[in-house]
Amino acid sequence: MAQLPPGALMQRAATGLAVACAQRLSRVYASPVVLLVGRGDNGADALWAGAMLRRRGAVVSAVLTGEPKADALAAFRATGGRVVDEVGPGLVVDGLVGIGGRGALRDAAAALAAEVRDRDVVAVDLPSGVDADTGEVAGTAVRAGLTVTFGTLKPGLLLAREHVGELQLVDIGLALPPAPVEVLEDADVELLLPRPRRGDDKYTRGVVGVAAGSRAYPGAAVLSVGAAVRAGAGMVRFAGTPHAAEQVRSHWPEVVVSELEGSDVVTAGRVQAWVVGPGLGTGARAAETVEAVLAEDVPVLVDADGLTLAARHPEWLSRRTAPTLLTPHDREFARFGLDVLADRVGSARALAAELGVTVLLKGDATVVAGPHGPARVNAPGTAALATAGTGDVLAGAAGALLAQGLGPLDAGSVAAHLHGLAGRDAAGAGTTSASAVLAHWP
């Protein structure tokens, strides 16, 4: 009787899964493990991993929802693994449905997913009931404490974090084509971040202009300007109302402040990129500001009120030839006439293609997508960032990176990554504020 799964790929997958399960247990010997097994490869992986755990002394049982792969079931039984009708105690391994599953789980699988909702679950490749491409959950789905995935990260793993839990990638030696969706790791961000060079001055380090704030919302100016400073711009120029300008001066003495409104903001001085919109308002003077900034032949980031105004005047965007980065949340996104669908990556790509821009769609899993090429999903996000002003911080930081020479996809995804790290550090196990996120900027 074969004791190893056929083929190198399945062996590596099953071994990686078994090791992850063993690490999840306080000890392997005599520890109960229950496998939820469907008909596909994920069910087979669970059975092969169960056989490996059984050989190390774990007490392993399997609940079947269909006829699993015969060789995997035979190997599991050969080690003393038992097939049972009910879910017993112990660590649960979810091998119900694979990455090809679409739509709601069938009744038997859905009932098992609901039954183990409050248990410690290790999901095989993807929690059952979660769409691998979009993260959509139609009905009941498994909520895992750990998901062990193979070969490459699936977009759905990053978009349905509340079901995925901790995420572990096992390299099984696949030769993969370029991915349509990427996620930056810390090492990637380190390589992309602009660094000071010998001979640099404040102008070569990147000058970013910020047109933000108003009498009603001066804090938006303070936060976006502060983030631009913290994100490494050589110089930050602020242009705005007298009240907002006064607040910026008092908080950030290193910033060059001009009391300018409407179309005059672009006379503040030479810049390599603009940030426009945070706290700006949506009146006539604010509209003049947004139109004037978008007419400049430099990269522009549009956020908050700037998005509302640009949605009313899409011709301001269509006339642009320089890079443009829009940073909407879901409601701001909808103002452009498209709804955010369950497929958040597809939604961001659709708006980017329609407007000829790069879109940073904010959310628990922030998506950055341009009209062409791979999209990116931000890994280190946190729900604690859902608080007033954190978007202003993100906008200022991404604008500073644009001014330092990064393209909009890199600027948006690097800023989102650092924003997520700062949010985690600021929140700890609790909540946070925009000011705290800025103070914890890495």
In a domain, 181, yes or no: no
Q: How far is CA 437 from CA 54, 145, 193, 415, 416, in A?
A: 47, 27, 19, 12, 12
User: Of the candidates 339, 347, 213, which has an alpha carbon nearest to the alpha carbon of residue 279?
Assistant: 213
Domains in the chain, number: 2
In a domain, 1, yes or no: no
pLDDT at residue 6 in the model:
62
- What pLDDT, in 10s, does the model give residues 291-301? 999 999 999 99
Share of the chain above pLDDT 70, in %: 98
Q: How far apart, in whole angstroms, are the C-alpha atoms of residue 182 and residue 194?
A: 20
- Burial of 83 per CB tally in 10 Å (0-12, 13-18, 19+): middle
**428 CB neighbour count, 10 Å cutoff:** 10
pLDDT at residue 374 in the model:
93
pLDDT at residue 239 in the model:
98
Mark whether 208 and 97 lie in a shared domain: no
User: Of the candidates 194, 362, 227, which has an alpha carbon nearest to the alpha carbon of residue 236?
Assistant: 227
Mark whether 166 and 209 lie in a shared domain: no
Residue 135: which CATH number?
Answer: 3.40.50.10260
Mark whether 223 and 345 lie in a shared domain: yes
Mark whether 410 and 429 lie in a shared domain: yes
Mark whether 171 and 193 lie in a shared domain: no
- Of 135, 157, 176, the residue that ends a domain is 176
Residue 367: which CATH number?
Answer: 3.40.1190.20
Q: Considering the entire predicted model, what is its pTM?
A: 0.83
Q: What's the average model confidence in pLDDT over 88-100? A: 92
- What pLDDT, in 10s, does the model give residues 23-46? 999 899 999 999 999 998 999 999
* Spatial contact of 218 and 243, defined as CB atoms under 8 Å apart: yes
* Spatial contact of 248 and 219, defined as CB atoms under 8 Å apart: no
Q: Which helix (H) or strand (E) holds 104?
A: none
Answer whether residue 2 shows pLDDT above 80. Answer: no
Q: What's the average model confidence in pLDDT over 170-190? A: 86
- Which range marks the domain in which residue 225 is found? 186-439
In sequence order, what DSSP letters do the residues of 32-53 get, joined into one string? EEEEEE-SSHHHHHHHHHHHHH
pLDDT band at 360 (very low <50, low <70, confident <90, very high): very high
* Spatial contact of 239 and 211, defined as CB atoms under 8 Å apart: yes
- Report the mean per-residue pLDDT for the chain: 93
pLDDT at residue 1 in the model:
38
Mark whether 17 and 75 lie in a shared domain: yes
Place of tokens 């009932």: 111
- What pLDDT, in 10s, does the model give residues 415-434? 999 999 998 888 887 888 99
Mark whether 217 and 146 lie in a shared domain: no
Mark whether 152 and 276 lie in a shared domain: no
For residue 207, give both structure tokens.
């000058």
Q: What's the average model confidence in pLDDT over 296-325? A: 97
Mark whether 409 and 345 lie in a shared domain: yes
pLDDT band at 231 (very low <50, low <70, confident <90, very high): very high
Report the sign of the C-alpha dihedral through residues 272, 275, 280, 282, in that order. Answer: positive
Mark whether 281 and 427 lie in a shared domain: yes
Q: How far apart, in whole angstroms, are the C-alpha atoms of residue 170 and residue 258?
A: 53
pLDDT at residue 427 in the model:
87
Mark whether 92 and 200 lie in a shared domain: no
Q: How far is CA 386 from CA 360, 365, 389, in A?
A: 15, 12, 9
Q: How far apart, in whole angstroms, are the C-alpha atoms of residue 277 and residue 305?
A: 5
Q: How far apart, in whole angstroms, are the C-alpha atoms of residue 41 and residue 50?
A: 14
- What pLDDT, in 10s, does the model give residues 266-276? 999 999 999 99
In a domain, 161, yes or no: yes
Mark whether 195 and 165 lie in a shared domain: no
- What pLDDT, in 10s, does the model give residues 48-75? 999 999 999 999 999 999 999 999 999 9
Distance of CA 166 to the CA centre of its chain: 14
